Structure 1
């Protein structure tokens, strides 16, 4: 109980430390938009890096450490599943008992978690000046008839500013800050771009993206 109370107080302290007055920007859109995290949770490490594919296209791609993290889960799970199954088959076959089901279930859970992390962690995050769109996902807006069916996309002309904000995340045994890069649209709506634990790298990427889009960075970090 005391530990949870301490974590809650730390979280509140972190939020107070990063209080930001949007009126200081002198922009009416800054007063319309939100200044709390657009996406709950996050990561304590860098999950994405900004890559220039060509002069008219930037993409956020998985960082090396993130890919390693995802693959460890996936390969560990597959290793348990394949190794244990092969051992059981060579020693007389699989039996429907706890000694058989439990290791297979553990392996399946690890493999499923790793596969999910790998799938969602490698979703394309694209800024394309040639086609005039930002999107997150494996389907580009210019490739579909009904663009509104896509969840995370915007025309580059709709982007008003880039927003950097922090979130103090607490777990059972640790706490950390995660940092968000969000798009602020002209109507005040926000779209989360990436959310990870490297403040300095995110600032660098936001600066590059700001120059690419010719949009300001609203930095509260």
Structure 2
């Protein structure tokens, strides 16, 4: 099996960020609790940083005066923007990857109408072992892709836990009734 796109040499997760949920007519890669918890911790920490000036003003007894200043509207706008952006990132980062026989579709998210391919167009499952660089350090990462008949490659997930990824790739290839290909690009 061949692919047209170059390999991504950055890794986005050094932990198992998705887990496979296998059902009779559907397979879904859903975000792991670790993935959700990590994003929530990061958003909460960033929100706490936003709240430091508010708490300082409240502690000093000048919160009411500060709330009436022109800078308060700018600050409130920035805070609202941060909250909206955080919600959007959380939603986008935690989209499931779905392979559904009932609607003959492979898609990201919850809307099967926005499918990437009909299941019949998927001709293979691919696991690529690659070297990635994070913080000037080199380590192994594994990418799970599905291939469409026209050569287009779709990334399903990417993490450093080879055993889990290979097992999930075997299950997906069996479910789709397609070939599984291992590529060592290290």
TM-score grouping bracket, smaller chain normalisation = 0.7 to 0.9
Secondary structure, aligned partner of 2:154: strand
C-alpha distance in structure 2 between counterparts of 1:212 and 1:155, whole Å: 14
C-alpha distance in structure 2 between counterparts of 1:170 and 1:65, whole Å: 22
Could you say which residue in structure 2 is the equivalent of 1:153?
116
Q: Please report the RMSD computed on the Cα atoms of aligned residues, expressed in angstroms.
A: 2.9
C-alpha distance in structure 1 between counterparts of 2:105 and 2:148, whole Å: 13
The runs of 5 or more residues in structure 1 that have no matched partner are 1-29, 142-149
Aligned length: 173
Could you say which residue in structure 1 is the equivalent of 2:131?
168
Q: Which runs of 4+ in 1 moved over 4 A?
A: 107-117
CA displacement, residues 121-159 of structure 1 (integer Å, 9 cap, x when unaligned): 211211101110000134222xxxxxxxx4x61100001
Q: Does 1:220 align with 2:169?
A: no
Q: 1:62 to 1:50 in 2, by over 3 A?
A: same
Q: Does 1:67 align with 2:36?
A: yes
**TM-score (ref. length: structure 2):** 0.77
Q: 1:116 to 1:169 in 2, by over 3 A?
A: farther
**TM-score (ref. length: structure 1):** 0.66
The runs of 5 or more residues in structure 2 that have no matched partner are none
